[in-house]
Amino acid sequence: MKINTKDLLSGIILILFAVIGYWLNQDHALGTARRMGPGYMPMLTFVILLGIGAIVTLFALFSGPNPLDKWTTGEVLAIPAAIVAFFATYIIVERLNIFQGNYYILGSAILAGCLVLAIPHGWRALGLVHAGFALFGLLLEQGGLMLALVGCILVSALADPDHRPKGVLGMIIFLCVLCWWVFIKELDIRVNVWPQFL
C-alpha cells in the first residue's frame, strides 16, 4: 500500500468539514423537496462533500507515495503551543475585562497564537505575516492608521531575514505617506489617522 499523505489529509479535511457541517445543520428545518427549508441545501451539500471526501481518502491509500515536507521537532511542537497560546490569551484577556467589544479579545488571541507559531524557523514567515496582519486590526481603531501601519510593517518585516533597519525605516515612511495619500486624501475612508489616547 503506497499512501499519498497529501491526498489522505485533503480527504480527511473534507470529511471533517462535512461531518461538522452536517451536525450543525441539525438545527435547521429540512422542509420537503417541494418546499425546501433552510436546512435542505446544506444537507445536500454536506452529504456530497462527505462522499467526495471519502472517495479522495480511499484513492489516497493507493496513489502514493506523496509524503509531506519533513518537519523538525520545533515545528511540530509549535503547533500545539500556538493553539494553547491562542486559547490562553483569549481566556486571560476576557477575564481582565479591560478591552470590550470590537473583537479585541479575538485579535489579541490570534496575535499571541501567531507569534508563538513563529518561534521555530520553518514557521517564521507563516506566523509573522499573519501576526502583522492581526496587529494591524488590533491597533487600527484606537491607535489610528499610522500606528497600525508601523506595527504591521515592523512585524511582517521580521519574516524576511534580509531586512536591514534602515531599509525597514525607509519603507515605513514611504508606505505611511503613500497610504495617507491614497486612502485618506483620495479615497477618504472613515478611519482615525492618529492615536486616540494622546
Partner 1 sequence: MELLLTNLGHGFAVALTVNNILFCLLGCLIGTAIGVLPGIGPVATISLLLPITFGQPATTAIIMLAGIYYGAQYGGSTTAILLNLPGEVSSVVTTLEGYKMARNGRAGAALTIAALGSFFAGTVATVLVAASGPLLTSVALSFGPADYFSLMLLGLIISAVLAQGSVLKSVGMVVLGVALGLVGTDVQTGQQRFTFGVPELSDGVGFVSIAMGMFGIAEIILNLERPEQRSVLAAKVGSLFLTKEEFSRATPAVLRGTVVGSLLGILPGGGAALASFGSYMMERKMSRGRAEFGNGAIEGVAGPESANNAASQTSFIPLLTLGIPANAVMALMVGALIIQGIQPGPRMVEAQPDLFWGLIASMWIGNLMLLVINLPMIGMWVKLLQVPYKYLYPSILVFCAIGVYSLSNNVFDVYQTVLFGFVGYIFSKLKMEPAPLLIGFVLGPMMEEHLRRAMLLSRGDVMVFVERPISASMLAIAAAAMIAMLLPSLRKGKDKALAE
The footprint of partner 1 on residues 79-98 (CB under 8 A) is none
Cell numbers found for residue 144: 489610528
- Which residue of 48, 92, 169, 177 would you call a contact of partner 1, by CB under 8 A? 48
Place of cell 509531506: 68
At its nearest, how many Å lie between partner 1 and the CB of residue 135? 9
* DSSP-derived 3-state class of residue 65: coil
At its nearest, how many Å lie between partner 1 and the CB of residue 174? 8
Task: Please state, in angstroms and rounded to a whole number, the distance separating the CA atoms of residues 171 and 132.
Answer: 15
Cα angle 60, 63, 67; round to 5: 75
- Which residue of 1, 26, 34, 165 would you call a contact of partner 1, by CB under 8 A? 34
Residue 143 interacts with partner 1 (CB under 8 A): yes or no: no
- Which residue of 19, 30, 88, 179 would you call a contact of partner 1, by CB under 8 A? 179
Task: Please state, in angstroms and rounded to a whole number, the distance separating the CA atoms of residues 118 and 78.
Answer: 8
Residue 133 interacts with partner 1 (CB under 8 A): yes or no: yes
Task: Please state, in angstroms and rounded to a whole number, the distance separating the CA atoms of residues 153 and 132.
Answer: 7
Q: 88 or 154, CB closer to partner 1?
A: 154
Residue 30 interacts with partner 1 (CB under 8 A): yes or no: no
